[in-house]
């Protein structure tokens, strides 16, 4: 099984998923679900507790006491809190 959480903002849909081997993925659709792009999260970003769309191409995820953020549609994620 795979566990996923979802967030939507306008036509953007975000899924944060963790599979049986504890790999974390983010799937994003910019067109209401017609097409999807998947990105693997950095190894340090394990144990996602949800995903929250915050604006165009942007989302945040609370992960293990940290806050991770993307502003480029999920291509890159940075730990924004606490400052790394």
* The pLDDT value given to residue 50: 87
Q: What is the DSSP string of 22-73?
A: --EEEEEESSTTSS-EEEEPPTT--SB---EEEETTEEEEEETTEEEEESST
Is pLDDT larger for residue 54 or for residue 84? Answer: 54
pLDDT (tens digit, 9 = 90+) per residue, 15-58? 998 877 767 889 999 999 999 999 987 766 666 678 999 999 99
Listed residue (37, 84, 27, 2) closest to 68, CA to CA: 84
């Amino acid at each position: 099984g795979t566990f996923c959480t979802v967030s939507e903002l306008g036509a953007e849909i975000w899924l944060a998923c963790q599979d049986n081997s504890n790999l974390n993925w983010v799937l994003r659709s910019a067109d209401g679900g017609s097409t999807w792009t998947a990105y693997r999260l950095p190894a340090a970003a394990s144990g996602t507790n949800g995903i929250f769309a915050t604006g165009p191409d942007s989302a945040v995820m609370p992960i293990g006491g940290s806050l991770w953020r993307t502003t480029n549609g999920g291509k890159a994620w940075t730990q924004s809190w606490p400052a790394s």
